[in-house]
Structure 1
């Protein structure tokens, strides 16, 4: 099984801390978030991983070199971007990597949901694309009907929130329009008749660490025992990057 971790963004909401450290390398109680994500993937059977890199890419390349020495069974391929390409641009830039169904996860997501379950749901259904959704106040913008995504809109009680986790087929990558960002591209594909399967779940831990408040909150939740995240330290010091 293979996965792709989106790592290229500037992390604007985390400035000035992200000016000298890529967001995926922010530490969770002393361990880089990207290391937690990779350890989760490896433990669940993913052995080929793609990453995109642009902002402070040298730091990411250094991390990958160190990580693969520690975990030689994993193969990591880094796709450097000539400029920041956005989510869909990143996938198109790595087209050669997507030769089989691939789990795609944002590099700023901390969760305890078993990622293999998302992948296996795709294999059972074999849609062009499967998006993993949950309920999250303020982000419930995805509309679903009979298990399929019908569109995107404003936050509402009837909506669902995208977790930043999806599984895509080679076909999906081939038909991606030239849009940079996910919503506009996926709306166009829905309009062209391409199906996006929805996998929904509740009752698990999930946090986007993309703001200083959320970053500190994630560490507090783990340290206090409110959240149990596989491969994340349960002890350590809560802090922002120096």
Structure 2
């Protein structure tokens, strides 16, 4: 299974830090967020990782290179000409590099100790979402979860962690353009084609300078 790290966003809420440094290169305990992901993915058996880039993408390429430092092959899906395509658009553009029926996608601006699975079986579903307890900045959550099935119910919602396993069929026939992921997922949820699980380990959404400061104040 291949993995994709979403790293093309501008990071408006992270300004002014993101004006000169792309969000995935911001450091938690002296190590770039994206390097935490690469190291964990490599240690769990992933050998090929796709990274989409736009804002300050040259800095990401220069910092990470071809991935040989971590024993993986890094491939870049370059969105600099079109501009950031948002999550679904970025995945669609990267599909020729992904070249697999099932793949993992991870947001580049989170920190977690979740153990990514190389052999995840979707069992006919279009996606499997990793959900977490609602953080202070997202008290209402995103999706409900009933017996490992994701629901659009408005009660007892959890937060989507930015970690998901996807079938290429979820994006089949879609145009290569700027497109958010949430509406696509909600549509698949309505069709009963999305499973999920609740992760209770350490997880941080590093969306603002304050949250970056908070995670750096914790022990890892």
Above 0.5 in TM-score? yes
Q: SS in structure 2 opposite 1:198?
A: strand
Structure that is richer in helix per residue: 1
- CA separation in 2, counterparts of 1:179 and 1:69? 31
Task: Give the greater-gyration-radius structure (CA).
Answer: 1
Shift of 1:126: 4.5
Normalised by the size of structure 2, how large is the TM-score? 0.88
Contact 2:50–2:98, Cα closer than 8 Å, also in 1:
no
Q: Which deviates the most, 87-96 or 179-188? A: 179-188
- CA separation in 1, counterparts of 2:23 and 2:109? 7
Q: Which deviates the most, 103-112 or 126-135? A: 126-135
2:213 paired residue number:
216
Contact 1:128–1:194, Cα closer than 8 Å, also in 2:
no
- CA separation in 1, counterparts of 2:105 and 2:209? 24
2:171 paired residue number:
173
Say what the alpha-carbon RMSD is for the aligned residues: 2.0
Normalised by the size of structure 1, how large is the TM-score? 0.81
Q: How many residues align?
A: 213
Shift of 1:144: 2.6
Unaligned runs of 5+ residues in structure 1 are 223-227, 229-242
Unaligned runs of 5+ residues in structure 2 are none
| Stretches (4+) displaced over 4 A | 175-179
Structure-2 change in CA distance of 1:188 and 1:211 (3 Å): same
Shift of 1:108: 0.7
Q: SS in structure 1 opposite 2:125?
A: coil
Deviations 1:44-91 (A, max 9, x none): 0000100000001110111221x62423x3111100112111001001
- CA separation in 2, counterparts of 1:218 and 1:128? 33
Contact 1:95–1:174, Cα closer than 8 Å, also in 2:
no
2:28 paired residue number:
28
Structure-2 change in CA distance of 1:176 and 1:199 (3 Å): farther
